[in-house]
Structure 1
Amino acid sequence: MVDPFLATNYNVLEVIFSYLDLRDLRNCALVCWNWYHFLNDESSEVWRMHCLRKLPQEALKSDLLSSVTTYKKRLRAYYHAWNPNDCSRNVYIKPNGFTLHRNPVAQSTDAARGKIGFRQGRHSWEVIWEGPLGTVAVIGISTKEAALQCHGYVALLGSDDQSWGWNLVENMLLHNGDAQGNYPLLNNPPKYQVGERIRVILDCDDNTLSFEKNSEFLGVAFKGLPDKKLYPTVSAVYGNTEVSMVYLGPPLDG
Protein backbone atom coordinates (compact mmCIF):
# COMPACT_ATOMS: atom_id res chain seq x y z
CA MET A 1 0.00 0.00 0.00
CA VAL A 2 1.35 3.45 -0.94
CA ASP A 3 1.80 5.92 1.88
CA PRO A 4 -0.79 8.72 1.23
CA PHE A 5 1.72 11.33 2.37
CA LEU A 6 4.35 10.12 -0.10
CA ALA A 7 1.77 9.90 -2.87
CA THR A 8 0.75 13.52 -2.24
CA ASN A 9 4.39 14.61 -2.27
CA TYR A 10 4.98 12.82 -5.55
CA ASN A 11 1.94 14.51 -7.10
CA VAL A 12 3.26 17.90 -6.00
CA LEU A 13 6.71 17.06 -7.41
CA GLU A 14 5.16 16.04 -10.73
CA VAL A 15 3.50 19.42 -11.07
CA ILE A 16 6.60 21.40 -10.07
CA PHE A 17 9.08 19.38 -12.12
CA SER A 18 6.90 19.49 -15.22
CA TYR A 19 7.42 23.28 -15.38
CA LEU A 20 11.18 23.34 -14.83
CA ASP A 21 13.65 23.46 -17.70
CA LEU A 22 16.06 20.59 -18.32
CA ARG A 23 19.03 22.23 -16.62
CA ASP A 24 16.99 22.76 -13.45
CA LEU A 25 15.82 19.15 -13.59
CA ARG A 26 19.43 17.95 -13.74
CA ASN A 27 20.19 20.02 -10.65
CA CYS A 28 17.10 18.69 -8.87
CA ALA A 29 18.24 15.12 -9.49
CA LEU A 30 21.35 15.91 -7.42
CA VAL A 31 19.44 17.15 -4.38
CA CYS A 32 18.61 13.81 -2.79
CA TRP A 33 18.10 10.14 -3.55
CA ASN A 34 14.29 10.44 -3.61
CA TRP A 35 14.35 13.20 -6.22
CA TYR A 36 16.95 11.34 -8.27
CA HIS A 37 14.85 8.17 -8.16
CA PHE A 38 11.73 10.13 -9.06
CA LEU A 39 13.32 11.79 -12.10
CA ASN A 40 15.03 8.57 -13.14
CA ASP A 41 11.65 7.18 -14.20
CA GLU A 42 11.93 8.07 -17.88
CA SER A 43 8.27 7.26 -18.56
CA SER A 44 6.90 9.37 -15.71
CA GLU A 45 4.27 12.07 -15.99
CA VAL A 46 7.02 14.68 -15.67
CA TRP A 47 8.76 13.54 -18.85
CA ARG A 48 5.45 12.99 -20.63
CA MET A 49 4.48 16.62 -19.98
CA HIS A 50 7.85 17.85 -21.23
CA CYS A 51 7.41 15.76 -24.38
CA LEU A 52 3.94 17.13 -25.01
CA ARG A 53 5.15 20.70 -24.60
CA LYS A 54 8.32 20.43 -26.69
CA LEU A 55 7.83 17.79 -29.37
CA PRO A 56 5.63 18.52 -32.39
CA GLN A 57 2.41 16.50 -32.46
CA GLU A 58 3.35 15.25 -35.92
CA ALA A 59 6.33 13.44 -34.41
CA LEU A 60 4.47 12.09 -31.39
CA LYS A 61 1.64 10.64 -33.48
CA SER A 62 3.85 8.95 -36.10
CA ASP A 63 5.89 5.75 -35.82
CA LEU A 64 9.10 7.70 -36.38
CA LEU A 65 10.02 7.41 -32.69
CA SER A 66 9.04 3.75 -32.37
CA SER A 67 12.64 2.79 -31.52
CA VAL A 68 12.70 5.30 -28.65
CA THR A 69 10.81 3.70 -25.80
CA THR A 70 10.53 6.37 -23.07
CA TYR A 71 9.37 9.98 -22.91
CA LYS A 72 12.76 11.19 -21.71
CA LYS A 73 14.56 9.43 -24.57
CA ARG A 74 12.14 10.94 -27.09
CA LEU A 75 12.85 14.38 -25.68
CA ARG A 76 16.59 13.70 -25.91
CA ALA A 77 16.20 12.55 -29.52
CA TYR A 78 14.47 15.84 -30.35
CA TYR A 79 17.40 17.85 -28.97
CA HIS A 80 19.79 15.78 -31.11
CA ALA A 81 17.77 16.00 -34.36
CA TRP A 82 18.76 17.83 -37.57
CA ASN A 83 19.95 21.38 -37.07
CA PRO A 84 17.94 23.85 -39.18
CA ASN A 85 20.85 26.31 -38.83
CA ASP A 86 23.50 23.84 -39.97
CA CYS A 87 22.34 22.58 -43.35
CA SER A 88 22.46 23.50 -47.02
CA ARG A 89 20.28 26.40 -48.18
CA ASN A 90 18.49 23.85 -50.36
CA VAL A 91 17.39 21.83 -47.32
CA TYR A 92 14.74 22.58 -44.73
CA ILE A 93 13.66 20.71 -41.61
CA LYS A 94 10.03 19.61 -41.62
CA PRO A 95 7.62 20.58 -38.79
CA ASN A 96 8.11 17.20 -37.08
CA GLY A 97 11.66 18.31 -36.22
CA PHE A 98 13.30 15.00 -37.24
CA THR A 99 13.03 14.96 -41.04
CA LEU A 100 14.91 17.00 -43.61
CA HIS A 101 13.51 17.78 -47.05
CA ARG A 102 15.80 18.49 -49.98
CA ASN A 103 14.31 20.94 -52.44
CA PRO A 104 14.41 20.02 -56.16
CA VAL A 105 17.43 22.15 -57.12
CA ALA A 106 19.31 21.06 -60.24
CA GLN A 107 23.06 20.38 -60.20
CA SER A 108 23.45 20.61 -56.45
CA THR A 109 24.39 18.23 -53.66
CA ASP A 110 23.12 19.18 -50.23
CA ALA A 111 23.85 18.06 -46.68
CA ALA A 112 22.70 18.55 -43.10
CA ARG A 113 24.22 17.96 -39.67
CA GLY A 114 22.68 17.10 -36.32
CA LYS A 115 22.40 19.66 -33.55
CA ILE A 116 24.85 17.94 -31.20
CA GLY A 117 28.29 16.55 -31.95
CA PHE A 118 30.27 13.96 -30.00
CA ARG A 119 33.86 13.76 -28.84
CA GLN A 120 33.55 11.23 -26.01
CA GLY A 121 31.56 8.10 -25.30
CA ARG A 122 29.56 5.79 -27.54
CA HIS A 123 26.52 6.97 -29.48
CA SER A 124 23.99 5.54 -31.89
CA TRP A 125 21.24 6.95 -34.06
CA GLU A 126 18.92 5.74 -36.80
CA VAL A 127 18.75 7.18 -40.30
CA ILE A 128 15.66 6.54 -42.43
CA TRP A 129 15.70 7.58 -46.10
CA GLU A 130 12.04 8.28 -46.84
CA GLY A 131 12.32 9.16 -50.51
CA PRO A 132 14.31 8.12 -53.59
CA LEU A 133 18.06 7.83 -53.16
CA GLY A 134 18.94 9.25 -56.55
CA THR A 135 22.43 8.67 -57.94
CA VAL A 136 24.21 9.40 -54.64
CA ALA A 137 22.94 9.07 -51.07
CA VAL A 138 25.49 9.18 -48.24
CA ILE A 139 25.14 8.76 -44.49
CA GLY A 140 27.85 9.19 -41.89
CA ILE A 141 29.58 11.87 -39.83
CA SER A 142 31.46 15.13 -40.28
CA THR A 143 33.16 17.90 -38.38
CA LYS A 144 31.91 21.48 -38.47
CA GLU A 145 34.53 22.21 -41.13
CA ALA A 146 32.95 19.91 -43.74
CA ALA A 147 31.03 21.56 -46.59
CA LEU A 148 27.24 21.25 -46.69
CA GLN A 149 26.62 22.19 -50.34
CA CYS A 150 28.46 21.88 -53.64
CA HIS A 151 27.82 22.02 -57.37
CA GLY A 152 26.84 18.89 -59.27
CA TYR A 153 25.63 15.48 -58.14
CA VAL A 154 28.49 14.07 -56.08
CA ALA A 155 29.26 12.19 -52.87
CA LEU A 156 29.65 15.35 -50.80
CA LEU A 157 29.87 13.51 -47.49
CA GLY A 158 33.28 11.86 -47.65
CA SER A 159 34.64 14.26 -50.26
CA ASP A 160 37.16 15.84 -47.87
CA ASP A 161 39.23 14.95 -44.80
CA GLN A 162 36.52 16.32 -42.49
CA SER A 163 33.80 13.78 -43.36
CA TRP A 164 33.24 10.02 -43.51
CA GLY A 165 30.33 8.43 -45.35
CA TRP A 166 28.68 5.29 -46.70
CA ASN A 167 27.15 5.72 -50.16
CA LEU A 168 23.99 3.59 -50.01
CA VAL A 169 23.64 3.56 -53.79
CA GLU A 170 26.99 1.91 -54.53
CA ASN A 171 27.71 0.31 -51.11
CA MET A 172 30.98 2.22 -50.99
CA LEU A 173 32.82 3.91 -48.11
CA LEU A 174 34.12 7.43 -48.77
CA HIS A 175 36.65 9.69 -47.08
CA ASN A 176 38.97 12.48 -48.21
CA GLY A 177 37.60 12.25 -51.74
CA ASP A 178 38.59 8.60 -52.15
CA ALA A 179 36.69 5.33 -52.18
CA GLN A 180 37.73 3.35 -49.11
CA GLY A 181 36.32 0.03 -50.26
CA ASN A 182 33.07 -1.83 -50.54
CA TYR A 183 30.76 -1.97 -47.54
CA PRO A 184 29.48 -4.14 -46.03
CA LEU A 185 32.04 -6.85 -46.72
CA LEU A 186 29.54 -9.40 -48.03
CA ASN A 187 29.18 -11.21 -51.31
CA ASN A 188 26.52 -9.33 -53.31
CA PRO A 189 25.33 -7.20 -50.35
CA PRO A 190 21.69 -6.15 -50.69
CA LYS A 191 20.92 -2.62 -51.77
CA TYR A 192 19.29 -0.25 -49.34
CA GLN A 193 15.50 -0.21 -49.57
CA VAL A 194 13.71 3.09 -48.99
CA GLY A 195 12.24 3.16 -45.49
CA GLU A 196 14.77 0.79 -43.91
CA ARG A 197 16.31 1.96 -40.65
CA ILE A 198 20.08 2.08 -40.59
CA ARG A 199 21.71 2.36 -37.19
CA VAL A 200 24.90 4.41 -37.08
CA ILE A 201 27.30 3.64 -34.21
CA LEU A 202 30.00 6.16 -33.32
CA ASP A 203 32.54 4.99 -30.76
CA CYS A 204 34.60 8.00 -29.68
CA ASP A 205 36.60 5.85 -27.25
CA ASP A 206 37.84 3.47 -29.98
CA ASN A 207 37.58 6.14 -32.72
CA THR A 208 35.46 3.94 -34.98
CA LEU A 209 32.27 4.28 -37.03
CA SER A 210 30.04 1.27 -37.72
CA PHE A 211 26.60 0.54 -39.13
CA GLU A 212 23.73 -1.88 -38.53
CA LYS A 213 20.79 -2.75 -40.75
CA ASN A 214 17.80 -4.87 -39.81
CA SER A 215 19.47 -5.56 -36.42
CA GLU A 216 22.52 -7.01 -38.19
CA PHE A 217 25.91 -5.55 -37.37
CA LEU A 218 27.65 -4.79 -40.67
CA GLY A 219 31.15 -4.36 -39.26
CA VAL A 220 33.45 -1.43 -38.56
CA ALA A 221 33.42 0.99 -41.48
CA PHE A 222 36.05 3.52 -40.37
CA LYS A 223 38.89 3.40 -37.87
CA GLY A 224 41.26 6.06 -36.59
CA LEU A 225 38.72 8.88 -36.42
CA PRO A 226 40.22 12.16 -35.19
CA ASP A 227 39.85 13.61 -31.71
CA LYS A 228 37.32 16.19 -32.90
CA LYS A 229 33.64 16.77 -32.30
CA LEU A 230 31.80 14.64 -34.88
CA TYR A 231 28.20 15.21 -35.99
CA PRO A 232 25.58 12.95 -37.59
CA THR A 233 25.46 13.99 -41.26
CA VAL A 234 23.86 13.01 -44.57
CA SER A 235 24.17 14.33 -48.12
CA ALA A 236 21.57 13.95 -50.88
CA VAL A 237 21.03 14.87 -54.53
CA TYR A 238 17.46 13.78 -55.31
CA GLY A 239 14.81 16.50 -55.40
CA ASN A 240 12.10 16.27 -52.74
CA THR A 241 13.75 13.31 -51.02
CA GLU A 242 13.43 13.22 -47.24
CA VAL A 243 15.72 11.80 -44.56
CA SER A 244 14.91 11.35 -40.87
CA MET A 245 17.37 10.94 -38.01
CA VAL A 246 16.53 9.69 -34.50
CA TYR A 247 19.17 9.70 -31.78
CA LEU A 248 19.08 6.54 -29.63
CA GLY A 249 21.85 7.00 -27.09
CA PRO A 250 24.58 4.48 -26.19
CA PRO A 251 24.45 1.24 -28.23
CA LEU A 252 22.60 -1.60 -26.53
CA ASP A 253 25.73 -3.75 -26.54
CA GLY A 254 27.18 -1.48 -23.88
Structure 2
Amino acid sequence: MGLIVSVWFNARTTRKPPSPSAFFLLAVPTSSRLALALAASPASPVDRESRWSSHCCSPHLVLSPCKREVTRTPTEMSSDGVRAEVGVKSGLHLWELLWSPGHRGSHAVIGVSALDCPLQASGYSVLVGGDSQSWGWELVSNQLWHSGKMLEHYPGKEKRNPSKNADSLGPELFSSSNRKESEAPLLIPERILLVLDADAGTLGFVVDENFLGVAFKDLPRGVELFPAVSSVRGGARIQLRYLNGSTCEPPPLMALCGLSIRRVLGKQEQTHVEKLPLPPYLQHHLLHSY
Protein backbone atom coordinates (compact mmCIF):
# COMPACT_ATOMS: atom_id res chain seq x y z
CA MET A 1 0.00 0.00 0.00
CA GLY A 2 2.91 2.35 0.72
CA LEU A 3 4.08 2.02 -2.89
CA ILE A 4 0.61 2.86 -4.18
CA VAL A 5 0.42 5.98 -1.99
CA SER A 6 3.91 7.03 -3.10
CA VAL A 7 3.02 6.75 -6.77
CA TRP A 8 -0.19 8.70 -6.20
CA PHE A 9 1.76 11.51 -4.44
CA ASN A 10 4.29 11.75 -7.27
CA ALA A 11 1.50 12.14 -9.79
CA ARG A 12 -0.08 14.94 -7.76
CA THR A 13 3.18 16.93 -7.41
CA THR A 14 3.47 17.37 -11.18
CA ARG A 15 0.79 20.04 -11.07
CA LYS A 16 1.91 23.66 -11.29
CA PRO A 17 1.88 25.38 -7.87
CA PRO A 18 -0.22 28.51 -7.35
CA SER A 19 1.28 31.97 -7.86
CA PRO A 20 3.57 32.74 -4.92
CA SER A 21 3.38 35.72 -2.59
CA ALA A 22 5.80 38.60 -2.96
CA PHE A 23 7.52 37.17 0.14
CA PHE A 24 7.91 33.70 -1.35
CA LEU A 25 11.51 34.26 -2.50
CA LEU A 26 12.43 35.63 0.94
CA ALA A 27 11.13 32.61 2.85
CA VAL A 28 13.41 30.11 4.57
CA PRO A 29 12.70 26.45 5.43
CA THR A 30 10.87 25.84 8.70
CA SER A 31 11.70 23.31 11.37
CA SER A 32 9.31 20.40 11.89
CA ARG A 33 8.12 21.98 15.16
CA LEU A 34 7.27 25.26 13.48
CA ALA A 35 5.68 23.54 10.48
CA LEU A 36 3.37 21.56 12.77
CA ALA A 37 2.49 24.67 14.78
CA LEU A 38 1.62 26.57 11.60
CA ALA A 39 -0.55 23.72 10.38
CA ALA A 40 -2.36 23.09 13.67
CA SER A 41 -5.80 24.44 14.48
CA PRO A 42 -5.64 27.75 16.41
CA ALA A 43 -6.49 27.98 20.08
CA SER A 44 -9.66 29.66 21.25
CA PRO A 45 -9.43 33.47 20.91
CA VAL A 46 -10.99 33.93 24.36
CA ASP A 47 -7.96 32.47 26.14
CA ARG A 48 -5.84 34.78 28.30
CA GLU A 49 -2.92 34.30 25.92
CA SER A 50 -4.88 36.35 23.34
CA ARG A 51 -5.29 39.44 25.55
CA TRP A 52 -3.36 42.66 25.88
CA SER A 53 -2.49 43.58 29.45
CA SER A 54 -4.44 46.39 31.09
CA HIS A 55 -1.64 46.79 33.66
CA CYS A 56 1.33 46.80 31.25
CA CYS A 57 -0.06 49.43 28.90
CA SER A 58 0.59 53.10 28.11
CA PRO A 59 -2.16 55.46 29.33
CA HIS A 60 -2.58 56.60 25.72
CA LEU A 61 -3.68 53.13 24.63
CA VAL A 62 -7.28 51.98 25.14
CA LEU A 63 -8.17 48.29 25.34
CA SER A 64 -11.37 46.82 23.92
CA PRO A 65 -13.72 45.04 26.36
CA CYS A 66 -12.33 41.64 25.33
CA LYS A 67 -8.74 43.02 25.56
CA ARG A 68 -7.85 41.52 22.18
CA GLU A 69 -7.60 44.94 20.50
CA VAL A 70 -5.79 48.07 21.58
CA THR A 71 -6.32 51.55 20.12
CA ARG A 72 -3.99 54.51 20.43
CA THR A 73 -5.61 57.86 21.26
CA PRO A 74 -4.68 60.93 19.11
CA THR A 75 -1.85 62.15 21.35
CA GLU A 76 1.00 64.29 19.99
CA MET A 77 4.69 63.80 20.76
CA SER A 78 4.29 60.49 22.55
CA SER A 79 5.40 56.91 21.93
CA ASP A 80 3.16 54.28 23.46
CA GLY A 81 3.38 50.53 23.96
CA VAL A 82 1.57 47.54 25.39
CA ARG A 83 2.47 43.97 26.31
CA ALA A 84 0.41 40.80 26.17
CA GLU A 85 -1.24 39.65 29.38
CA VAL A 86 0.57 36.28 29.33
CA GLY A 87 4.22 35.62 28.57
CA VAL A 88 6.24 32.44 28.10
CA LYS A 89 9.52 31.07 29.42
CA SER A 90 9.80 27.89 27.32
CA GLY A 91 8.42 26.23 24.21
CA LEU A 92 7.70 27.45 20.70
CA HIS A 93 4.74 29.80 20.39
CA LEU A 94 2.78 31.58 17.65
CA TRP A 95 0.76 34.79 17.92
CA GLU A 96 -1.21 36.55 15.22
CA LEU A 97 -1.10 40.34 15.08
CA LEU A 98 -3.44 42.39 12.88
CA TRP A 99 -2.31 45.96 12.17
CA SER A 100 -3.56 47.77 9.07
CA PRO A 101 -0.71 49.29 7.00
CA GLY A 102 -2.79 52.45 6.63
CA HIS A 103 -2.85 52.98 10.40
CA ARG A 104 0.81 52.53 11.28
CA GLY A 105 2.50 55.86 10.71
CA SER A 106 6.16 55.92 11.70
CA HIS A 107 7.73 53.84 14.49
CA ALA A 108 5.23 50.99 14.19
CA VAL A 109 6.98 48.17 16.04
CA ILE A 110 6.09 44.60 16.94
CA GLY A 111 8.22 42.13 18.89
CA VAL A 112 8.74 40.80 22.39
CA SER A 113 9.79 42.31 25.69
CA ALA A 114 10.54 41.41 29.27
CA LEU A 115 8.67 43.00 32.17
CA ASP A 116 11.05 45.94 32.46
CA CYS A 117 10.58 47.37 28.95
CA PRO A 118 9.26 50.99 29.09
CA LEU A 119 5.78 51.48 27.61
CA GLN A 120 5.60 55.27 27.27
CA ALA A 121 8.07 57.98 26.28
CA SER A 122 7.99 61.61 25.15
CA GLY A 123 8.52 62.27 21.47
CA TYR A 124 8.44 59.76 18.63
CA SER A 125 10.72 56.79 19.10
CA VAL A 126 11.01 53.01 19.03
CA LEU A 127 9.89 51.56 22.35
CA VAL A 128 9.91 47.82 21.60
CA GLY A 129 13.60 47.40 20.86
CA GLY A 130 14.52 50.67 22.46
CA ASP A 131 16.18 49.03 25.46
CA SER A 132 18.10 45.87 26.37
CA GLN A 133 14.94 44.09 27.52
CA SER A 134 13.03 44.20 24.22
CA TRP A 135 13.43 43.19 20.57
CA GLY A 136 11.36 44.84 17.84
CA TRP A 137 10.70 44.89 14.09
CA GLU A 138 9.78 48.35 12.76
CA LEU A 139 7.24 47.53 10.05
CA VAL A 140 7.45 50.69 7.94
CA SER A 141 11.25 50.77 7.56
CA ASN A 142 11.71 46.97 7.99
CA GLN A 143 14.40 47.66 10.61
CA LEU A 144 15.30 45.42 13.55
CA TRP A 145 15.85 47.19 16.88
CA HIS A 146 17.45 46.14 20.17
CA SER A 147 19.10 48.09 22.99
CA GLY A 148 18.11 51.34 21.29
CA LYS A 149 20.07 50.52 18.13
CA MET A 150 19.02 49.67 14.61
CA LEU A 151 20.73 46.34 13.89
CA GLU A 152 19.80 45.50 10.29
CA HIS A 153 16.92 45.19 7.87
CA TYR A 154 14.55 42.25 7.95
CA PRO A 155 14.21 40.30 5.78
CA GLY A 156 17.92 40.73 5.10
CA LYS A 157 19.14 42.90 2.24
CA GLU A 158 21.24 40.03 0.92
CA LYS A 159 17.97 38.28 0.00
CA ARG A 160 16.19 41.35 -1.32
CA ASN A 161 19.14 42.63 -3.34
CA PRO A 162 20.97 39.65 -4.92
CA SER A 163 23.96 41.69 -6.11
CA LYS A 164 26.14 38.59 -6.29
CA ASN A 165 23.98 37.27 -9.11
CA ALA A 166 23.49 40.60 -10.88
CA ASP A 167 25.80 39.74 -13.78
CA SER A 168 24.09 36.44 -14.48
CA LEU A 169 20.65 38.04 -14.43
CA GLY A 170 21.46 40.41 -17.25
CA PRO A 171 20.78 44.15 -17.57
CA GLU A 172 17.14 43.67 -18.48
CA LEU A 173 16.46 41.83 -15.19
CA PHE A 174 18.70 43.84 -12.88
CA SER A 175 18.41 47.45 -14.00
CA SER A 176 18.99 50.40 -11.70
CA SER A 177 15.24 50.75 -11.22
CA ASN A 178 14.98 47.12 -10.15
CA ARG A 179 17.88 47.61 -7.76
CA LYS A 180 16.23 50.63 -6.13
CA GLU A 181 12.97 48.70 -5.83
CA SER A 182 14.72 45.78 -4.12
CA GLU A 183 16.35 48.15 -1.62
CA ALA A 184 13.10 49.96 -0.78
CA PRO A 185 11.21 48.90 2.37
CA LEU A 186 8.71 46.12 1.82
CA LEU A 187 5.03 46.78 2.43
CA ILE A 188 4.17 44.41 5.27
CA PRO A 189 0.53 43.28 5.09
CA GLU A 190 -2.00 43.52 7.89
CA ARG A 191 -1.59 39.97 9.23
CA ILE A 192 1.75 39.02 10.79
CA LEU A 193 2.62 35.94 12.81
CA LEU A 194 5.14 36.31 15.61
CA VAL A 195 7.22 33.15 16.19
CA LEU A 196 8.97 32.95 19.56
CA ASP A 197 11.09 29.88 20.27
CA ALA A 198 11.93 30.38 23.92
CA ASP A 199 13.90 27.11 24.02
CA ALA A 200 16.21 28.16 21.17
CA GLY A 201 16.16 31.84 22.15
CA THR A 202 14.98 33.07 18.73
CA LEU A 203 12.32 35.38 17.35
CA GLY A 204 11.03 35.40 13.78
CA PHE A 205 7.99 36.34 11.74
CA VAL A 206 5.64 34.80 9.17
CA VAL A 207 4.15 36.96 6.41
CA ASP A 208 1.77 35.67 3.73
CA GLU A 209 2.36 32.15 5.09
CA ASN A 210 6.10 32.48 4.46
CA PHE A 211 8.55 32.19 7.36
CA LEU A 212 11.06 35.00 6.86
CA GLY A 213 13.70 33.44 9.08
CA VAL A 214 15.19 34.29 12.47
CA ALA A 215 15.12 38.01 13.14
CA PHE A 216 16.72 37.85 16.60
CA LYS A 217 18.75 35.15 18.31
CA ASP A 218 20.35 34.73 21.73
CA LEU A 219 17.24 35.86 23.57
CA PRO A 220 17.58 35.22 27.33
CA ARG A 221 16.61 31.66 28.37
CA GLY A 222 14.24 31.16 31.26
CA VAL A 223 13.11 34.80 31.22
CA GLU A 224 9.41 35.46 30.71
CA LEU A 225 8.93 37.20 27.36
CA PHE A 226 5.74 38.86 26.14
CA PRO A 227 4.51 39.86 22.68
CA ALA A 228 4.61 43.67 22.58
CA VAL A 229 3.89 46.55 20.21
CA SER A 230 4.54 50.28 20.21
CA SER A 231 2.99 53.04 18.10
CA VAL A 232 2.97 56.81 17.63
CA ARG A 233 -0.06 57.08 15.31
CA GLY A 234 -3.41 58.25 16.61
CA GLY A 235 -6.18 55.79 15.85
CA ALA A 236 -3.86 52.84 15.31
CA ARG A 237 -5.60 49.57 16.21
CA ILE A 238 -3.68 46.35 16.84
CA GLN A 239 -5.30 42.98 17.48
CA LEU A 240 -3.64 40.04 19.21
CA ARG A 241 -4.46 36.34 19.10
CA TYR A 242 -2.51 33.40 20.44
CA LEU A 243 -2.56 30.60 17.86
CA ASN A 244 -0.76 27.62 19.41
CA GLY A 245 2.54 26.32 20.67
CA SER A 246 4.58 23.24 21.47
CA THR A 247 7.12 21.97 23.96
CA CYS A 248 10.72 21.06 23.21
CA GLU A 249 9.79 17.37 22.90
CA PRO A 250 10.24 15.82 19.42
CA PRO A 251 7.02 15.93 17.36
CA PRO A 252 5.07 12.63 17.08
CA LEU A 253 5.91 10.59 13.99
CA MET A 254 2.23 10.36 13.05
CA ALA A 255 1.93 14.14 13.06
CA LEU A 256 5.04 14.52 10.87
CA CYS A 257 3.73 11.97 8.38
CA GLY A 258 0.36 13.69 8.27
CA LEU A 259 2.01 17.05 7.67
CA SER A 260 4.07 15.66 4.77
CA ILE A 261 0.96 14.20 3.13
CA ARG A 262 -1.02 17.42 3.50
CA ARG A 263 1.84 19.42 2.00
CA VAL A 264 1.71 17.25 -1.10
CA LEU A 265 -2.06 17.50 -1.35
CA GLY A 266 -2.09 21.27 -1.07
CA LYS A 267 -4.61 23.46 0.68
CA GLN A 268 -7.08 23.39 -2.17
CA GLU A 269 -7.05 19.63 -2.58
CA GLN A 270 -8.09 18.27 0.80
CA THR A 271 -11.02 16.45 -0.82
CA HIS A 272 -8.50 14.08 -2.38
CA VAL A 273 -7.79 12.64 1.06
CA GLU A 274 -10.88 10.48 0.67
CA LYS A 275 -9.42 9.00 -2.50
CA LEU A 276 -6.23 7.82 -0.82
CA PRO A 277 -5.93 4.06 -0.25
CA LEU A 278 -5.95 4.53 3.53
CA PRO A 279 -8.20 3.26 6.35
CA PRO A 280 -11.00 5.68 7.38
CA TYR A 281 -9.25 6.39 10.69
CA LEU A 282 -6.16 7.72 8.92
CA GLN A 283 -8.25 9.72 6.48
CA HIS A 284 -10.04 11.34 9.42
CA HIS A 285 -6.70 12.12 11.06
CA LEU A 286 -5.44 13.85 7.91
CA LEU A 287 -8.61 15.89 7.54
CA HIS A 288 -9.11 17.03 11.11
CA SER A 289 -5.86 16.79 13.07
CA TYR A 290 -3.75 19.27 11.07
Alignment of 1:174 with 2:145, yes or no, is: yes
Superposition RMSD in Å: 2.0
CA shift for structure 1 position 75 = 3.1
Corresponding letter in the other structure for 1:192: I
User: Is residue 212 from structure 1 mapped to residue 178 from structure 2 by the alignment?
Assistant: no
Q: Confirm whether residue 201 of structure 1 aligns to residue 162 of structure 2.
A: no
Distance in 2 (CA, whole Å) between partners of 1:162 and 1:92 is 24
Shift of 1:132: 1.1
Instruction: Indicate the residue corresponding to 2:119 in structure 1.
Output: 148
**Aligned partner of 2:230 among 227, 235, 254:** 235
| Deviations 1:72-112, CA, capped at 9 Å, x for gaps | 62332x44310112100111101242100001110000000
Q: What is the CA-CA distance between 1:69 and the residue it aligns to?
A: 5.0
Q: 1:192 aligns with which of 163, 182, 188?
A: 188
Contiguous gaps of at least 5 residues in structure 2: 1-38, 161-181, 252-290
1:113-152 alignment runs, 5 A limit: 113-130=83-100, 132-152=103-123
Return the match for 1:99 from 38, 45, 69: 69
The answer (yes or no) to whether the contact 1:161–1:176 under 8 Å persists in 2 is: yes
Whichever structure has more helix as a proportion of its residues is: 2
Contact 1:68/1:74 (<8 A) preserved: no
SS at match of 2:45: helix
Amino acid at match of 1:230: L
Gaps of 5+ in 1: 1-66
1:68 Cα offset (Å): 9.2
Aligned to 2:131: 160
Q: Secondary structure at the match of 2:44?
A: helix
The answer for the alignment partner of 2:239 in structure 1 is 244
**Mapped partners of 2:81, 2:202: distance in 1:** 22
The residue number in structure 1 matching 2:267 is none
Distance 1:219 1:110, change over 3 A: same
CA distance in 1, matches of 2:79, 2:40: 30
Q: Distance in 1 between matches of 2:44 and 2:92?
A: 16
Once the two structures are aligned, what percentage of the paired residues are identical?
38
Partner letter of residue 86 of structure 1?
A: C
Q: Which runs of structure 2 are paired with 1:56-95 in the superposition (5 Å)?
A: 73-76=44-47, 78-95=48-65
TM-score, normalization by structure 1: 0.68
180-189 or 136-145: bigger deviation: 180-189
SS at match of 2:200: coil
What is the match of residue 216 of structure 2? 222
Cα distance in 2 for partners of 1:246, 1:80 equals 4
Q: Aligned partner of 1:85: which letter?
A: H
Higher relative contact order (CA 8 A, sep 6+): 2
- After superposition, the Cα gap between the structure-2 partners of 1:216 and 1:238, relative to the gap in structure 1 and judged at 3 Å, is same
Q: Give TM-score scaled by structure 2 length.
A: 0.60
SS of structure 2 residue aligned to 1:146: coil
Structure 2 CA distance for aligned equivalents of residues 75 and 247 of structure 1: 9
Q: Deviations over 1:100-125 (max 9, x none)?
A: 00011100000000011111111110
| Runs of 4+ with deviation above 6 angstroms | none
SS in 2 for 1:125: strand
